Chains A and B, each alone.
Chain A
Amino acid sequence: MAEVTNLRTGAETGLSALFEAGRKSFATEEAIGREEAFKFFEATGLPSRRVEAFKYTDLRAAIAEAAPSAEAPSAEAARNAVAAAKGFAEVEAARLTFVNGHLIRALSDLSGLPEGVAVTPINDAMGKGDVRLRRLAPVPQARDNAIYQLNTAFLADGVLISVAPGAKPALPLHLRFIGTGSAPFSTATRALVDLGEGSEVTIVESHEGPDGLTYQPNDALDVHIGKGGTFRHSRLNIEGNAAVALSTLSVRLDDEAKLETVAVVTGAVLSRHQIFLNIAGESTHVVVNGASMLRDGQLADSTLLADHAAVGGIGREQFKTVIDGDATGVFQGKIIVRQAAQQTDGKMKSDCLLLTDEGQMMNKPELEIFADDVACGHGATCGAPDDDLLFYLMARGLPRPEAQSLLVQAFLGEAIETVTHEGARAALIGEIEGWLRARG
């Protein structure tokens, strides 16, 4: 039998060249396993549809060229980008600002952090061999993922955030990632969050950039929630319309830890948000939601892996996608319940609302259950707005577009209403309203 050689694409060759060139300037390698990560990537290449986990989101086909790693912006460019930034701008928060993937210390509240919260720039931590860096990728499966490994290989900047045991800062942290410029670039940023026992923190993340610019952000958020800790997280993708945006959230939960995360997507021509959960502790509670609003040839992929390894975990995962025109939504959700994870209670659902006939939605829910005393379910729906509901609203005086908007808002609202932080919730609802207004 003839051996099949997978030819390397221009983008793959380009990434190798960029890694070689960057090697000299990269900060301490060993702490984060940069070389190992790149070796992994070199062996696998960009994932194509032949890889099951990337069946509907073929990065090999989507990324034609490797964009160079972004240089740090000038102070003025950074100031202008921040002045124009919209994501979570109304939310009162301590802000950490990244422009083109570089932490802008002058535009970050590093000295005005809430009590109990400490932030170390990742480059400082790498220079000192900070032990917390060993907590990178708190979920083993993330290490088998090309997007995460590329992030590690090219990691240029980021932060380590520690929340002291018992600390419950009222003010959220806002990680804002802003792209700017006129030439293609790529970024690789990482935030590591370590929540001490019994602490509670809210982090909001916004990702944005100019329309028409081909840029490739790849960011990762690694979180460890200590015993009895609560991590609340809202992620907003309002990237420019030509961006290829890749992101990974990986979370390890200890006993009685609570996670609440929602990802709202309106931006990027192609986006993939991956969530890996390592439910290592007993009696955890996890709420993972997503709301994607897509149009004009966009593809948005939400991929979730929830690995229950301990007794009594509760999981509620709810993903909502609204598709207007020839866009594509992808949801892949996998729940693993290991033998030790008795009394796991998991419910996963993906619903799609198709506003026109041209859109498509790919749903791939999976359950792998090895325990015998569990309650797990999954479901997926896809359809047009309900004509009877539209008629009911119109019969009360709402014109068709307004009636349809109200139904879309209600549909997406279910994924947003679990957001505890009032300001973040209001901002996300505002994004939905803005998307609907732009639809006209």
Chain B
Amino acid sequence: MLEIKNLVVQIEDNRILNGLNLTVKDGEVAAIMGPNGSGKSTLSYVIAGKEDYEVLDGEILLDGQNVLEMAPDERAAAGVFLAFQYPLEIPGVGTMTFLKACLNAQRKARGEAELSTPDFIRAVNGAADKLEINKEMLKRALNVGFSGGEKKRMEILQMALLQPKFCVLDETDSGLDIDALRIVSEGVNALRAEGRSFLVITHYQRLLNHIVPDVVHVMSKGQIVRTGGKELALELEASGYAEYRTGEAA
């Protein structure tokens, strides 16, 4: 599904990823854990195509296609989805308008017909019910005045609607209370399927109690330094990141 080879990335002369290699298999849920400053969020942004980062070397292959050569919207149409750590508020853009524009832009890019309004509304309502999203929220401007938990649920709603191939969850657990964590995790678990893989970035093991990973990677100094099964997360929770600390902020 996704193969990252020797990825070297810097931002403003500050090297953040140092020859990172990572493979996420078809249908796999891979977790990335690591201390602050190890480059986890940078990795998520580089996969999605944020411009601020300079890629000096390497490839990111999604089903053999190098996404580094694609604009962010082309990556999205190819199936990349980033659930943001801090979803942005967009005053003036209605949530439904936004959802419809995104969905139809992706369908258009893939040469598919636009979804009819009734089908679209049915799809949104179905996904919103599962995520316990109040319909009133859908009438408001995107993420404006939403709580942290509501914003994260809205990210998962988008994921459910857009049906991506490769989902990156960047610290989706941050800012969530116990109930929201359960709802969000159930939303993600419901999307687990053949042909869809997840890269779950987190500091804490607790998210992985809900979204149980197939594999856990430890990231440090811009590289994957250790890989193991789901038990590795429990080990890190007990021992901490001391042995992986970079000692420098990135």
Spell out A's residues near B (CB within 8 Å): 387-389, 391-400, 402-403, 406-407, 409-411, 413-414, 417
B92 and A411 form a contact (CB under 8 A): yes
Which residues of chain B have C-beta atoms less than 8 A from A394's C-beta? 49, 71-73, 76
Q: Are B158 and A410 in contact (CB under 8 A)?
A: no
> What is the minimal beta-carbon distance from B71 to any residue of chain A, in angstroms?
7
List the one stretch of B83-91, B130-138, B192-200, B236-244 in contact with chain A: B83-91
CA distance A411 to B90 in the complex (A): 9
A402–B101 Cα distance when bound, in Å, is 9
> What is the interface of chain A mostly: helix, strand, loop, or mixed?
helix
Nearest residue (CB) in A for B48 is: A395
Please measure, in the bound complex, the distance between the C-alpha atom of A358 and the C-alpha atom of B88, giving whole angstroms: 28
| A and B contact pairs by CB, cutoff 8 A, 6 listed | A393-B98, A396-B76, A397-B76, A406-B98, A406-B101, A414-B92
B181 at the interface (CB under 8 A from A): no
Cα–Cα distance between A181 and B91 once the two chains are bound (Å):
43
For residue B109, CB closer than 8 A to chain A, the reply is yes
Contacting residues of chain B (39-96) with chain A, CB-CB under 8 angstroms: 48-52, 71-73, 75-77, 81-82, 84, 87-88, 90-93
Cβ of B185 within 8 Å of any chain A Cβ, yes or no, is: no
Partner of B84, one of A392, A407, A417: A392
Least CB distance from B94 to A in Å reads 9
| Contacts across chains A and B counted by CB atoms under 8 Å | 78
Q: How far is the CA of A236 from the CA of B67 in the complex (A)?
A: 45
Q: How far is the CB of A411 from chain B (nearest CB, A)?
A: 6
Q: In the complex the two chains form, what is the Cα distance from A391 to B162 in whole Å?
A: 17
Interface size on B, residues (CB 8 A): 31
Q: A347 CA to B49 CA in the complex, in Å?
A: 40
Instruction: Report the bound CA distance from A399 to B51 in whole Å.
Output: 14
The answer to whether A387 touches B101 (Cβ under 8 A) is no
Query: Which of B90, B92, B97, B106 has its CB near the most chain A CB atoms (within 10 A)?
Result: B92
Please give the distance in Å from B130's CB to the nearest CB on chain A. Answer: 20
The closest CB in chain A to the CB of B86 belongs to: A388
- Decide yes or no whether B215 CB sits under 8 A from chain A: no
Given known contacts A392-B88, A406-B98, is B105 in contact with A397 (CB within 8 Å)?
A: yes
Tell me whether A395 and B82 are in contact (CB under 8 A): yes
Cβ-defined partner of B92 (8 Å) among A395, A400, A413: A413
Q: Which chain B positions have C-beta within 8 A of A392?
A: 84, 87-88, 90
Contact partner, B102, options A389, A391, A396, A414, Cβ 8 Å = A396
Closest beta carbon of chain A to B75's beta carbon, Å: 8
- Please measure, in the bound complex, the distance between the C-alpha atom of A403 and the C-alpha atom of B105, giving whole angstroms: 10
Minimum CB–CB distance for B88 against chain A, Å: 5
Whether A397 pairs with B91 at a CB distance below 8 angstroms is no
Chain A residues in 8 Å Cβ range of B52 = 387
B101-132 with Cβ < 8 A to chain A: 101-103, 105-106, 109
Distance A402 CA – B104 CA, assembled complex (angstroms): 12
B-side contacts of A399, CB under 8 Å: 71, 73, 105, 109
Which of B77, B84, B92, B97 has a CB less than 8 Å from the CB of A397?
A: B77
Q: How far is the CA of A387 from the CA of B53 in the complex (A)?
A: 13
Q: Are A410 and B91 in contact (CB under 8 A)?
A: yes
B51 contacts across to A, CB distance below 8 A: 387, 391
